[in-house]
Structure 1
Amino acid sequence: MDIWIITLYGFTVGMIGTGLGGLASLFVKSNNKILSFLLGLTGGFMMFIVTFHLLPESFLLGGIYITLLGILLGILLVIIAEHKLDKTVHNPLSKSSLLLGISIAVHNFPEGLALGSSFLTMSNLGPTLSLAMLLHNIPEGLSMSIPLRINKLSPLKILFYSTLAGIPTGIGTFLGFYMGTFSHIIIALCLAFAGGTMLYIICDEIIPNAKNLHKGRSSSIGVVLGFVVGIILYFK
């Protein structure tokens, strides 16, 4: 496929996903139980993508050491971004929204790398990963936008900021496809990098935050359902 078509694909997936989340925030009530379920659904679905798609493809193309290196680099990137943010923002609501926004943008870039690289593999990983990214960006855009609503930001600004967070997906998609044409090792590293980034965010942010929002079973049901949805899409 043409690199510009793949790049447009990446921009569309990233910006529509988070943008739809921002749009939904204008209509959905700030119900902790609903947000808890959506975040849990995100965590379960992305856990499936990491364990059944990203890392196996990386192992196959680059071997265990390249995969482990990519995972480590992905985790370090998110930790550094979070550490820098903790020192600069003090308003709890603004900090929560900004952290989610930066986290989404930061991990949308390696996700874009993985998306661009995935279209070079022999499997149907590209379309599957695109759907996964689109779906999981919606609740992330929603979660990012809820604190902005509480701070009484205008609807247009909420839509603008939530859509903006999806731009790195398109940039990453271009670079992932472009660099991946040179070496399978680069493809493997991109896939593992995105896998490590998502794995850390799932474990450190999505699932814990889902449980903190609502102490009941909604987040756990969401996690399981998200994983099951991944299985259904994989074997369909």
Structure 2
Amino acid sequence: MSEVLVGSVLSALSTGVGALLVLFLQNSLTHKFRDTLLAFTAGVMMAASMLGLIPESLAASGSIIPMAVGVLLGVMTLTVLEKNIPHIDLEHSKSGIQFDEKAMLIIAAITLHNIPEGLSVGVSYASDTEGTGNLIALAIGFQNAPEGLLVALFLITQKIKKWKAFVIATLTGAIEIVTSLLGYYLTSYVEFLVPYGLAFAAGAMLFIVYKELIPESHGDGHERTSTYSFIVGILFMIFLIDLF
């Protein structure tokens, strides 16, 4: 219990780590840096899904059906959220970063988008394989950091002070702690849900990688750098999987 709590807190609060950069880098942040970070995150999440969660789901069920159902449920959940809840999209412009102007709606949207990510962390800790939860918490943490940065930057454009933007951006990730514990308890006490939960997490992460992270990292003319960063992210997560 203590491990899942610590992992979920660290993963959720990594949103604040990304937001912390606005206190120092607001005027020097470049699109190339952002795109490189997003691509690295995509690589980490891709490797975590394909080499961690999906094999764990197959091993837990002994059948491809729960894995396939779980992946599709994860994709469908993110599809519904993406269609019905707006989120921050950076305008691809080398001259600067521009945001949608509906501040409170955007904050609520980002918070709701964090629900499946928290569930991913929780069900991963319910896996029988030691270290899976920590690896997925790390992968989600890498995804949360640039998200926190974008939220904080958006809030600053709405004339909110830097430190307030940092606090609000950090709090948007706090819901992951609650949903992580929920996912952990559900899959721990209802064991047949474990393979579905692991695959659900994989499907949600793969959706984020292909629908959000990769396209956003390729919109400003930094495709080659982003591709290299994506591959480095994959190798980094493979190294961690092998290490743990």
Bin of the TM-score, shorter chain as denominator length: 0.7 to 0.9
Q: Where does 1:107-186 land on structure 2 (aligned, <5 Å)?
A: 107-120=113-126, 121-186=128-193
Distance in 2 of aligned mates of 1:204 and 1:99: 21
Q: Is the 8 A contact 1:144 1:162 kept in 2?
A: yes
Stretches of structure 2 lacking an aligned partner (at least 5 in a row): 92-97
Q: Which residue of 1 aligns with 2:227?
A: 220
Deviation at 1:127, TM superposition (A): 1.9
The SS at the match of 1:223 is: helix
For structure 1, which segment, 136-145 or 185-194, has the greater mean C-alpha deviation from structure 2 after superposition? 136-145
Distance in 1 of aligned mates of 2:221 and 2:157: 18
Q: Is the 8 A contact 1:96 1:147 kept in 2?
A: no
CA change 1:44–1:96 in 2 (3 A) is: farther
Deviation at 1:136, TM superposition (A): 2.6
Q: Render the CA deviation track for 1:166-205: whole Å, top value 9, x for unaligned.
A: 1222112211221122233211122111111111111011
Q: Render the CA deviation track for 1:98-120: whole Å, top value 9, x for unaligned.
A: 89866754453333323223233
Q: Which residue of 2 aligns with 1:34?
A: 33
CA change 1:59–1:98 in 2 (3 A) is: farther
The SS at the match of 1:212 is: coil
Q: Render the CA deviation track for 1:77-103: whole Å, top value 9, x for unaligned.
A: 22222222359xxx9713698898667
- Which amino acid in 1 is paired with 2:191? H
Question: In proportion to residue count, which structure has more helix?
Answer: 1
The SS at the match of 2:123 is: helix
Deviation at 1:131, TM superposition (A): 2.1
Q: Which residue of 2 aligns with 1:231?
A: 238
Q: Is the 8 A contact 1:7 1:171 kept in 2?
A: no
CA change 1:106–1:222 in 2 (3 A) is: farther
- Which amino acid in 2 is paired with 1:163? T
The SS at the match of 1:93 is: coil
Q: Render the CA deviation track for 1:38-84: whole Å, top value 9, x for unaligned.
A: 00001011100010111111122133222222222221222222222
Q: Which residue of 1 aligns with 2:14?
A: 17
Deviation at 1:152, TM superposition (A): 3.2
For structure 1, which segment, 43-52 or 167-176, has the greater mean C-alpha deviation from structure 2 after superposition? 167-176
- Which amino acid in 2 is paired with 1:39? L
Q: Is the 8 A contact 1:50 1:198 kept in 2?
A: yes
Q: Which residue of 2 aligns with 1:93?
A: 99
Q: Is the 8 A contact 1:40 1:222 kept in 2?
A: yes
| % identical equivalent positions | 29
For structure 1, which segment, 115-124 or 100-109, has the greater mean C-alpha deviation from structure 2 after superposition? 100-109
Q: Which residue of 1 aligns with 2:94?
A: none
Scaled by the length of structure 1, the TM-score of the pair is 0.85
Q: Is the 8 A contact 1:82 1:99 kept in 2?
A: no
Distance in 2 of aligned mates of 1:101 and 1:52: 32
Stretches of structure 1 lacking an aligned partner (at least 5 in a row): none
CA change 1:83–1:116 in 2 (3 A) is: closer
CA change 1:57–1:5 in 2 (3 A) is: closer
RMSD: 2.8
